[in-house]
Amino acid sequence: MINLTIDGREIQAEEGSTILQAARNNGIEIPTLCYHDELTASGACRLCSVEIKKGKRTRIVTSCIYQVEEGLTVTTHSERVMNVRRLVLQLLMARCPTSEVIRELADTMGVKPQERFQLDEDKGKCILCRQCVEVCEQVVGVSAIGFLNRGADKSVGTPFMEPSGVCIGCGACAYVCPTGHIEMSENENGKERVIWGKTFKMVACKVCGRYFAPQEQLEYIGKKTSVPLDTLYTCVDCR
Amino acid sequence: MARINNLQDLNKRREQGMASLFPSKTKVMVGEATCGLATGAGLVHNALAEEIEKQKLDIMLRKTGCIGMCYREPLVDVIEPNRPRLTYSRLTPKNVPAFLNQVLEGNHKSKKPYCRIDEDVFIGNGETRRYFSGALPDDLGEVSPMSEIDFYEKQVRIATRNCGYLDPDNIDEYIARGGYFSLRKALSSMQPEEIIEEVIKAGLRGRGGGGFPTGYKWQSCRRAHGEVKYVICNGDEGDPGAYMDRSIMEGDPHSVIEGMIIGAYAIGAHEGYIYVRDEYPFAVNALSLAISQARECGLLGENILDSGFSFDIQIGKGAGAFVCGESTALMASLEGRAGEPRAKYVHTVEHGLKDRPTNLNNVETWANVPVIVGRGSEWFSEIGIENNAGTKVFSLVGNIRNVGLIEVPMGITLREIIYDIGGGTPKGKQFKAVQTGGPSGGCIPKDMLDLPVSYDELSKAGSMMGSGGMIVMDETSCMVDVARYFLGFLESESCGKCVPCREGVRRMRQILDDICAGRGREGDVELLESMSEAIIDGSLCALGGSAPNPVLSTIKSFRDEYDAHIRDKKCPAGVCKELTEHPSQ
C-alpha cells in the first residue's frame, strides 16, 4: 500500500491506483467529465486537475491518470486548481451553450459563464470527452466512430461521416455520452433504430415481443460469445 | 558499394572522399538545400551543367548543403587545385556562361567572389586541410576570408559542421571529414556505459528545446526494463521560420545516422526511426539515400563494422501536424494512430513507441553525438557556458539583414547574434523584439539584448530556447498582432484533445482579434493573463502548456501597446488595419 495525503487526510491506496480512485475511495470528491470507470482514462477534460506536492515542487496534474506515490501531498481544491476548473467549465459553457449538464455542473461549483467568450453554435452538446469513441473501441470492440479533424474543428463521427459498415447499432456511445449529444432515435414503434445516419432493424423478443436490440448487435454478440442466436433472440428480461 | 569492416576499409574510403573534397581538377559546387533551391540554385545548377556540357569542360559539378548564408543565395563555390576555395553569391542562370569563363581564365571580370576559404577545419576530428600551399595568390588579397566576415566570425559549427562543405549524397566525403570514425571508436573500444558517461560529462542537452540532459535520458532508457528498445530522431521541425533540422538532414544526413547508431549501441536498441515531416521532401530524399548507402557499407544492418552490433533505421513520414513534434504524439503517429499526445507521467524512456522503452532526440542533438564521441567530452564541454555546453543552431529570420542559419556557442548574447552576426535590422528601422523558442516562445525586448543565450537564461526571460527559430522584429511590428499571429498558429495546430488548449487558445485569440480590431475592453489584459495561467497549468502537453507565452511575454514587455489598442483605439506600429487612421477620412 502507498501512503499519501489528500486534502490533509492521510490515506492508503493500492499501488498503481490513481489519485482520483484513492480520493473517491475515501469520500473525497473530485469532479470529472471525461472519466469513466470502465474506460482508459484520457485526461482530456482536465476537470479533475489537482495540485500535488513532491518535495518542494508543486504542480497541477490530472488525478484520473496520475498514479499515487509514497509521500505525495495532494490538494484537490486549491486556488490554482480552481482556476483551471473554472476556465474549463467556462470554455465548455461557451462551446456547448445548450448543454444542461455543463451548466448544472458549473452552477454547483459556483462558476459563472465568461461573457467575454463568444458562444459557439455549431458544436451541439459535444464536449469531446472521448467516452463514445473509447467505449466503441475498448468495450464494444468495433471502432465504428473516431475523431475527425483537429483543434476546434475536431469532432466525433464515422469515417467520412458516412453510415458505418461496422457499426452494430448497440448505442453504447449514446448511453455513455455525458451530455446527451449523440442522437439515437427509434422509428415505427421501435422496429427501427437510427444512429450515426444508419438505420438498424430491431429484433423482437421471442417471449415478450418487445423490440429490444438491433439484428447486427445480436449477431455480433453471437459471434463473439458463441451463444446461439436463438438464445440471444430472447431479451434479457425474459431469459 | 563495398562493405566497411575495419579501420583499413574506413581509411580507404576516407582517401576516396578526400579526392573528391580536394580534387585535382576544378570543382564547382552549388548550395542546394531547400533555402538555396528556393532562390533558384537548381536553375543555376542546370545552367552550369549545360554550359559545361556545351563547352566540353573538364569540371566537376557537385551540390552541397546550406552553409548558412541564406541571405546571399544562390551560392556557388569554386575549388581549384592549390587555390583558396572561392564563394560566389547570388548567381543567376543568365550570368553562368560569363562566370564559367572567368573561372577558366582565372580572373574576376564578371563576378567578384564574396569570400574565400583558405583552410578547412574538420570539427569532427580536429584535422585542418589547407586548400593551397604557400602564399595567397595576389588577385585574392581583396577577398575576405570567410572566417573573418561578420556573419561567421563568432560562429562555431559543430552540428552543422559539414553543411555546405560536402556533397550529402557522397558518403565518402562524410567519412573524409571524420565521419563514421566515431562510430568505429565507439563500437571497437567503448562500452555502452562509457559512451553514456561521455555524453553526460559533455553536458549535451536536448536541442529540440526541452534542454533535458541527453546522457541521462540515454541512461534511463538503457536501464529501463525490456528486451526491445527504440531510438527515434525527431525531424518534425514545425516552428514557423525555423529550418535548422531541415538543413542538417538535407546537408549532412550521415551525421544524424551516425549519432543514432552510436546512441542505439549505448542504449541497447536495434531499431531506429527518423520521423520527418513530409513537407521536407529533400530531407526525406537525402536521408533515404544516406540510409541505403550506410546499409550497403555495413554501417547499418547486421554486424555493423564487424562488431556484432546490429541496428537499422526506418523513415516515418509525418503528415504535417505541428503537434507531432511532441514526443508522445510523434510516437502515436509512428504507430499509425492520430497524432495526439498523452500525459507523460509515465516517461517514454520506459513506455514509449509500442509501449517499449524509447529514446527520442532531435536532429541537432543526434548530429552532435559523433563529435562528442570523436573528440571527447572535455573538448565539447569547454565550448559554451556552465550547464549549457556546446553550441546551438538558430535560424535567424525576420527583420534582419543577414537572414540565415547560424551556429553559435551557448552564452553568446542576443545582441551579438542580432547585430554582429545578423548585421542588425535593415533599412534603418529600430529593433523592437526578438522571438525565440518557436511559436510558443516569448518576445524579448531591446533592454534584454545582453541576455546570454542559454536554456536557463531564456526561460528566466519568459521565453525559451526552443528548437532554434529566432525571429527578429523591428518597429514596424505590432506586438499585439504578433501575439495574435502565434496564437492563431497554435490554435490551428492544437490536436484538440484537451479542453484548455483546444478551447482556451481559441478564446484568447478571439480576444486578441477584438483588441486588434478596436473592440478591446478594459480588463481584457487581466483576463488574458488569468486564462494563460489556467491554460499553462491545465493543458495536457507542452503545446498548450506553452501556448500563452507569446501573449504573456508581449504583455510583460509591451503593455503600452495593448493599452494603446484598448484605450486609445490606436495601433502604434500602424499594423492593425481597423486602428490605422486614414488622413483622407
C-alpha cell at A232: 440471444
Nearest to B327 by CA among B315, B314, B313, B343: B343
Shared-domain flag, residues A157 and A218 = yes
Strand ordering across the sheet containing A211-214: A184-187, A192-195, A198-204, A211-214
- Residue B116 CA to residue B149 CA, distance in Å, equals 10
Q: Which of B519, B522, B536, B537 to mutate to test the interface with A (most CBs of A within 10 A)?
A: B537
Shared-domain flag, residues A51 and A115 = yes
Shared-domain flag, residues B356 and B391 = no
pLDDT tens, residue by residue, B105-139: 988 888 999 999 999 999 999 999 999 999 998 88
- The answer to whether B494 faces chain A, any CB pair under 8 Å, is yes
The per-residue pLDDT for B240 is: 87
Shared-domain flag, residues A114 and A171 = no
**Mean pLDDT across B55-70:** 96
Q: Scan residues 294-333 of B and list those with Cβ closer than 8 Å to A.
A: 321, 323
- Record: contact A151-B507, CB cut-off 8 A: no
Does residue B312 contact residue B301 with C-beta atoms inside 8 Å?
Answer: yes
pLDDT tens, residue by residue, B527-566: 999 999 999 999 999 999 999 999 999 999 999 999 999 9
Shared-domain flag, residues A21 and A116 = yes
pLDDT tens, residue by residue, B551-561: 999 999 999 99
CA distance A46 to chain B (A): 6
| Cα B478 off chain centre by | 27
- The answer to whether B547 faces chain A, any CB pair under 8 Å, is no
Shared-domain flag, residues A10 and A83 = yes
pLDDT tens, residue by residue, B171-196: 999 999 999 999 999 999 999 999 99
What residues of chain B lie within 8 A of the CB of A84, using their CB?
500, 534, 537-538
pLDDT, averaged across chain B: 95
Shared-domain flag, residues B253 and B301 = yes
Domain range enclosing A117: 1-122
Using the predicted structure, report yes or no on whether residue B585 has a pLDDT greater than 70: no
Of residues B321, B343, B533, nearest to A83 (C-beta): B533
Which of B358, B380, B402 marks a domain boundary? B380
Q: Which residues of B110-143 are buried (b: 16+ CB within 10 A; e: fewer)?
A: ebebbbbbeebbbbbeeeeeebbeeeeeeebeeb
Of residues B343, B499, B537, nearest to A65 (C-beta): B343
Beta bridge partners of A192: A187, A201
CATH code of the domain in which B104 resides: 3.40.30.10
The per-residue pLDDT for B464 is: 87
Using the predicted structure, report yes or no on whether residue B489 has a pLDDT greater than 70: yes
Which of B456, B474, B492 marks a domain boundary? B474
Beta bridge partners of B75: B89
- Record: contact B345-A117, CB cut-off 8 A: no
Shared-domain flag, residues B82 and B34 = yes
The per-residue pLDDT for B139 is: 87
Which of B380, B409, B442 marks a domain boundary? B380
Shared-domain flag, residues B373 and B449 = no
**Mean pLDDT across B79-96:** 95
Radius of gyration of chain B (CA): 25
- Cα-Cα-Cα-Cα dihedral of B324, B329, B332, B333, to 10°? -10
CATH code of the domain in which A23 resides: 3.10.20.740
Q: What is the pLDDT confidence band of residue B582, given thresholds at 50, 70 and 90?
A: low
Using the predicted structure, report yes or no on whether residue B446 has a pLDDT greater than 80: yes
- The answer to whether B490 faces chain A, any CB pair under 8 Å, is no
Q: Which of A49, A127, A150, A154 to mutate to test the interface with B (most CBs of B within 10 A)?
A: A150
Which ranges constitute the DSSP H helices of B190-280? 192-202, 214-223, 244-251, 253-267
The per-residue pLDDT for B461 is: 84
Q: Among A18-22, A192-196, B407-411, B462-466, which stretch is predicted with the lowest mean pLDDT? A: B462-466
Shared-domain flag, residues B227 and B368 = yes
Shared-domain flag, residues B337 and B456 = no
pLDDT tens, residue by residue, B23-34: 999 999 999 999
- Record: contact B503-A61, CB cut-off 8 A: no
Shared-domain flag, residues A7 and A83 = yes
The per-residue pLDDT for B79 is: 96
- Record: contact B499-A92, CB cut-off 8 A: yes
| Domains contained in chain B, number | 4
Q: Say whether the peptide bond before residue A214 is cis (omega within 30 degrees of 0).
A: no
- Record: contact B534-A43, CB cut-off 8 A: no
Instruction: Note whether residue B41 is domain-resident.
Output: yes
The per-residue pLDDT for B583 is: 55
- Nearest chain A residue to B536 by CA distance is A84
Q: Which of A65, A116, A148 to mutate to test the interface with B (most CBs of B within 10 A)?
A: A116
Instruction: Note whether residue B77 is domain-resident.
Output: yes
Does residue B171 contact residue B147 with C-beta atoms inside 8 Å?
Answer: no
The per-residue pLDDT for A51 is: 98
Using the predicted structure, report yes or no on whether residue B247 has a pLDDT greater than 90: yes
- The answer to whether B337 faces chain A, any CB pair under 8 Å, is no
Domain range enclosing B258: 180-380
Residues of chain A with pLDDT under 50: none
pTM to 2 decimals? 0.95
ipTM above 0.85, yes or no: yes
